[in-house]
Structure 1
Amino acid sequence: MSDWTAGYVADIGYTFGYYTELNPLRLRLPLLSSGYAFPNVESACELGFGQGVSVNMHAAASSIAHYGTDFNPAQANFAQELARQSGARLHLHDEAFAEFCNRSDLPDFDYIGLHGIWSWISDENRSVIVDFIRRKLKVGGVLYISYNTQPGWAAMLPMRGLLTEHAQVMAAPGQGIVSRIDSALDFAERLLATDPIFGRVNPVVGERIKRMKDQNRSYLAHEYFNRDWHPMTFSRMAEWLAGAKLNFACSAHYVDHVDAVNLSTEQQAFLKEIPDAMFREAVRDFMCNTQFRRDYWIKGGRRLNPVERVEALRQQQVILVNSPENVELKVSGYIGDATLNEGIYCPLLEAMSDHKPKTLNQLEQMTKAKGLSLPQILQAVMILVGKNDLAPVQDELGISKAKKQCDKLNAHLLQASRGSHDVGYLAAPLTGAAVPVNRFQQMFLLAKNNGRKSPEECVKFAWEYLENLNQRLTKEGKALETPEENIAELQRQAVEFFEKRLPILKALMVT
């Protein structure tokens, strides 16, 4: 009997995460910032969509036709159910890459996305994917690909091999993947406690093992314990993608576009001396000890002239998706935490405090008296979007087409929140993306949709379900035991939700 998993972990599902970089509507600002024209995305494809949360959110919140596959039928089934609920233009399959990529009924795509999966598959599957991209990505189309990279993973490579070998040869018969992971981590911890020379030379390994012990086992299973696990250098990735006629465009992580928070002055000067852009990017990874890359690659990217670029940037709309008082004037980059300039960020946040979409041109006019220039505004916007304080806004046509689909998907997720905390997001028509909304907030929204008006009424609604399921809240890592403690904590969260979160969800057209 053939192994349909191809060495990939399949006896435990992947996490129900949402990955905003997979959103085709998000690529406009980074590409414009880097001087590239962006495609009008009408068709998109996600390879290895996991539980399908991202692809469903992006399809429901836009008019884009989405296609995709994930080899795990349980995950594909969950994703397909979400698709049925929204009625969005989704075509999701449970096929292996070789099967899906050779389907005759697929259109050509403006956008193809892969999150993480590249690091966990064989060279045979990589060849299938590159050939698919070569054939099916349109000229001018964009590939988003994220992957574990070097040199950031260099020290961990031998330990990862030891962990997977332990899980294979030391596990008791019939032991499940979670138990095997726990045993492997315990073994690694005991090994490092003997003070091996490897641990002394690579102290970061011990720190990572400690962090892994606290991480979700579903995540660890898929991140570390697949048969194939290949952190790849940027230069090697470029060699692979050259066969698909792709050129590197820029990072999909917005904060990466701001050198000042990622590189020292000396490092920036050193990189400027390197004329070759690809080699410069490889050297940058050494400066940052990069572990994970999130990149856009273009097939035949068109460079904009300065006038085109500035005009397109000025038309871009953004919206504040956080309460102004909750926006920290700090950002974490590769060189540590940086304090943001109040003279730039405070006027911008004030201009956007009404939670209404603003173009960069409008922000430029509104902050002109404070002396802000378009380059300063662009840099601040890139950082604030990267910190999830701002979000790009899609056009009116996209919003109008997405509203009904989002309402249907969100209604389904709100109903599911009565018994599950799996999906902690709702679809936002305004941004064409997902927005974090935890289980209790979803239950408050459901209560509100069912006629409850006050925080107290919503708390009573939520507590009835939690009590019937014998479920309890936690606070500061400890379970709350008594009904009074649980209701008090729900009340605190409900008041905060009504005062701070609900107005933002309304602005995003989530509710």
Structure 2
Amino acid sequence: MTESDTGYVDEIAYTFGYCDELNPLRLGLPLLQAGLALPTVHTACELGFGHGVSVNIHAAGSPSRWYGTDFQEAHASFAQQLANSAESEAQLFGEPFSEFCRRDDLPDFDFIGAHGIWSWVSEENRALIVEFVRRKLRPGGVLYLSYNTQPGWTAMLPVRELMHQHFQIGAVSESRDGAAAEGRTQGRIEAAVNFARTVFATQPGYAIVNPLLAERVDALAGENPNYLAHEYFNRDWHPMTFSQVASSLAAAGLTYGGSADYRDHVDEINLNPAQRALLADIADTGLRETVRDFCVNRSLRRDYWIKAPAPLNADERDASLRNHRVILAVPRASVVLKVRGALGDAQLPETLYGPILDVLDSYRPMTLSDIENSVRGRGIVLEQIVKAVTLLVGMGVLLNAQNDAQISAAQSSATKLNAAICEQARHHDEVQFLVSPVSGSGILMPRVAQLFLLARLHHMQQPAQWAEFAESVLRGTTQATRATTELPPVAAASLENLIAKANRFAQIHLPILQALGVA
């Protein structure tokens, strides 16, 4: 299937990224704060899973049964191999939505996720997704949807059109080029971006009235072409307003549940007092979210939508929040109490955040009730704890944690998937996430750290041995690169440097990875 068939650039594979918002465990804090009951996620589905990093991590990291599809054959094949390695029983298909969404052998779902596809597929495919959600999402179930939105993309719309037109014209002459399809497409993308930069270098009137655009266009030259291909160069590219999306999803019986971006739930870092007062007086959800998008100049929305939501009373809400578990995911001493919101950098009060972090310093999952009991003497109440924990999870300092039974059920498949990913690190650094059965989520893990863990799997106990193993692998990769390409290879790290990294890894990071069930 080619671009001419679908309008989707499929000569270039997508990146190997991970999306934490697709983890159903993240539903807890946003929906409970909105006073909504949570679904128990027995079955889940990801539409357009790319290389399947997220879907495989979530399938291996939780007891939920996962399904999904991606129409690109290379994506689906890679995802299926990961699923087989984990023995997670994830059912992953290489089918377009027109086939997958009409399958009669799929269960009903408690959670459906679609990250990075809504804005990049045709109107026909969006209609297929809506109908699929209408039929297959259970009452009380949740849809996660991310999409490009206005007004943040408004100024870039003509720029995207300019680049896409140049990209399309380049296809006319490329048939005489003997290069592979991927190389041709990458060349067209590079040429289109450079053309846009050339246009902006002449200081056109559009750039003058939009002074920040030139820097944004220049930044495109440094982006991964695999990302650019799927972000800017598909035929279908539709940044949509919140109200447009809400109107589409109403046909599936969905209502807005809340933002999946945890930082959105702390207004103080995103909205000035006048904006907060304005939003507080807007009763209509659609208008309020539209105004919020104007206030923060939003370009990407990450939203939870619920079918037939069940409201909780105040006591039920607070009881569920108190039972919610989190775990510290980084060294306590390395936590910097500063966060970036729409208003810029904000300093977080040590008097609130310090005691909460100190309680979690044991690197064990703890409930918000445990935290509440530990900090009560400092005058810190549940509402403050919920807001602080939400922001700390959004910052990556904390992770949501499953209950003990879920952790135990996920441990075997998580261990198998992590071993398979670390084994791949012998040859490349494409997948840079491992799975934690404690959080059911992906943990960023660069290639060298994966090689350290792989050395441990091969019964090497000392950091110096891990370093020697990594150095041998990297040296072999560098030699292979030199033999197969004219490009200058990345030099293998020195053994001395790797030993220092291995010692630091053993002292600081390994204990946390063990607490997270990764090592």
TM-score, structure 1 normalization: 0.96
The match for 1:374 among 382, 389, 396 is: 382
| Alignment match, 1:87 | 87
2:423 counterpart of 1:415: yes
2:372 counterpart of 1:364: yes
Mapped contact 2:328–2:363 kept (Cα < 8 A): yes
2:340 counterpart of 1:332: yes
Alignment of 1:48-447 (within 5 A): 48-170=48-170, 172-173=173-174, 174=177, 176-447=184-455
Query: Which region of structure 1 is more displaced relative to structure 2, 385-394 or 172-181?
Result: 172-181
Mapped contact 1:155–1:204 kept (Cα < 8 A): no
State the SS of the aligned residue for 2:38: coil
Counterpart CA distance in 2 for 1:375 and 1:493 is 40
Counterpart CA distance in 1 for 2:355 and 2:4 is 56
| Compared CA separation, residues 378 and 269, structure 1 to 2 (3 A) | same
2:12 counterpart of 1:12: yes
| Compared CA separation, residues 376 and 205, structure 1 to 2 (3 A) | same
- 1:453 deviates by 1.8
Query: Which region of structure 1 is more displaced relative to structure 2, 97-106 or 201-210?
Result: 201-210
- 1:170 deviates by 3.5
Counterpart CA distance in 1 for 2:40 and 2:498 is 44
* Alpha-carbon displacement from aligned partner over 1:230-275 (angstroms, at most 9, x marks no partner): 0000010011001001000100011101111110001000111212
Counterpart CA distance in 2 for 1:336 and 1:5 is 43
Which runs of no fewer than 5 residues in structure 1 stay unpaired? none
Mapped contact 1:22–1:113 kept (Cα < 8 A): yes
Counterpart CA distance in 2 for 1:326 and 1:216 is 30
Mapped contact 1:64–1:89 kept (Cα < 8 A): no
| Compared CA separation, residues 93 and 5, structure 1 to 2 (3 A) | farther
Query: Which region of structure 1 is more displaced relative to structure 2, 170-179 or 297-306?
Result: 170-179
Mapped contact 2:3–2:9 kept (Cα < 8 A): no
State the SS of the aligned residue for 1:278: helix
Query: Which region of structure 1 is more displaced relative to structure 2, 374-383 or 170-179?
Result: 170-179
Letter in structure 1 aligned against 2:40? N
State the SS of the aligned residue for 1:75: helix
Counterpart CA distance in 2 for 1:190 and 1:350 is 53
- 1:277 deviates by 2.0
Counterpart CA distance in 2 for 1:322 and 1:5 is 46
Counterpart CA distance in 1 for 2:2 and 2:460 is 54
Query: Which region of structure 1 is more displaced relative to structure 2, 273-282 or 109-118?
Result: 273-282
- 1:117 deviates by 0.3
| Alignment match, 2:470 | 462
| Alignment match, 2:38 | 38
Query: Which region of structure 1 is more displaced relative to structure 2, 234-243 or 445-454?
Result: 445-454
Letter in structure 2 aligned against 1:245? G
Counterpart CA distance in 1 for 2:246 and 2:46 is 20
- 1:491 deviates by 2.2
Letter in structure 1 aligned against 2:280? K
Counterpart CA distance in 1 for 2:79 and 2:168 is 30
Mapped contact 1:480–1:486 kept (Cα < 8 A): no
Mapped contact 2:433–2:443 kept (Cα < 8 A): yes
Counterpart CA distance in 1 for 2:196 and 2:286 is 37
Letter in structure 2 aligned against 1:46? E
Counterpart CA distance in 2 for 1:4 and 1:480 is 37
Which runs of no fewer than 5 residues in structure 2 stay unpaired? 178-182, 482-487
Counterpart CA distance in 2 for 1:479 and 1:366 is 53
Counterpart CA distance in 2 for 1:116 and 1:65 is 22
Mapped contact 2:478–2:489 kept (Cα < 8 A): no
Mapped contact 2:438–2:517 kept (Cα < 8 A): yes
Mapped contact 2:460–2:466 kept (Cα < 8 A): yes
Mapped contact 1:109–1:141 kept (Cα < 8 A): yes
Mapped contact 2:134–2:253 kept (Cα < 8 A): yes
Mapped contact 2:478–2:490 kept (Cα < 8 A): no
State the SS of the aligned residue for 2:6: coil
Give the length in aligned residue pairs.
505
| Compared CA separation, residues 116 and 479, structure 1 to 2 (3 A) | same
Give identity over the alignment, percent: 48
Superposition RMSD in Å: 1.7
Counterpart CA distance in 1 for 2:350 and 2:479 is 44
- 1:472 deviates by 11
- 1:371 deviates by 1.6
Counterpart CA distance in 2 for 1:291 and 1:480 is 35
Counterpart CA distance in 2 for 1:22 and 1:313 is 20
TM-score, structure 2 normalization: 0.95
| Alignment match, 2:457 | 449
Mapped contact 1:356–1:507 kept (Cα < 8 A): yes
| Alignment match, 2:484 | none
Letter in structure 2 aligned against 1:219? Y
Alignment of 1:477-492 (within 5 A): 486-492=494-500
* Alpha-carbon displacement from aligned partner over 1:7-49 (angstroms, at most 9, x marks no partner): 1111010000000000112111111011110100100011000
| Alignment match, 1:23 | 23
